[in-house]
């Protein structure tokens, strides 16, 4: 079975920590905490709402200072991006990054894993790329460029996941297909139901 990685919404919302905790309880194996330009104290507040036993499954996109000084919270990984492109000194967790071309994927083969996006037209970001053709993906897969260290991102949904069955991605990452437009604690049951549905498709 391929990995299913969950990416948070870019903005915090009330009850988010409770929903994330319940997703971990239901089997979420990897969470990417992506909150562009957030304050570190807000990120730390969200982490306090999540039991520490799950921290090793969390990857930070922001606030890398949290893992300085020996990673006291035992955070599982950091994800490099334009905002944060330097691995914290001495960090021992996973290192990943986002790529938008096959050339970038080839250049980053020493990383633990990489996101390739947008594989399909994005759900959460309107007008964000047209994605790759099925032929491009198949050729890259047959050449070994797409392998178990490459994660498909962008436009991933229960409808598009079956189109990737013969492509050798190591997993998929979801954002819009899980959270929808305006997630809230009132939608917790629907979000968890959607997580289970997405996982069953992988």
**Do 75 and 96 meet the contact criterion of CB atoms below 8 Å apart?**
no
The residue segments making up the domain with residue 116 are: 3-201
Measured between alpha carbons, how far is 28 from 9 in angstroms, rounded to an integer?
Answer: 16
Per residue in 117-146, pLDDT (tens digit) is 999 876 665 555 567 888 999 999 999 999
User: Per-residue pLDDT tens for 43-61?
Assistant: 999 999 999 999 999 999 9
- Which segments of the chain have a pLDDT < 70? 1, 122-130
Please state the domain count of the chain.
Answer: 1
Q: Where are the alpha helices (DSSP H) in the chain?
A: 16-25, 40-48, 102-107, 134-142, 176-179, 188-201
Domain at 122, CATH number: 3.20.20.70
What pLDDT sits at residue 161?
93
């Amino acid at each position: 079975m391929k990995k299913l990685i969950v990416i948070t919404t870019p903005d915090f919302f009330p009850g988010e920590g409770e929903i994330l905790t319940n997703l971990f309880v239901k089997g979420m194996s990897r969470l990417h905490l992506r909150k562009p330009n957030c304050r570190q104290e807000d990120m730390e507040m969200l982490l306090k709402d999540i039991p520490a036993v799950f921290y090793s499954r969390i990857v930070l996109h922001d606030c890398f200072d949290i893992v300085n000084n020996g990673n006291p919270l035992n955070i599982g990984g950091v994800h490099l991006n334009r905002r944060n492109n330097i691995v914290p000194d001495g960090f021992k967790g996973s290192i990943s990054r986002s790529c938008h071309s096959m050339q970038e994927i080839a250049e980053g083969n020493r990383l633990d894993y990489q996101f390739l996006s947008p594989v399909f037209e994005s759900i959460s970001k309107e007008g964000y790329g047209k994605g790759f053709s099925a032929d491009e993906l198949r050729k890259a897969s047959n050449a070994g460029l797409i392998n178990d260290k490459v994660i498909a991102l962008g436009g991933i949904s229960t409808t598009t996941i079956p189109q990737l069955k013969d492509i050798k991605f190591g997993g998929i990452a979801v954002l819009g297909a899980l959270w929808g437009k305006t997630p809230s604690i009132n939608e917790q049951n629907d979000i968890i139901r959607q997580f289970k549905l997405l996982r069953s498709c992988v």
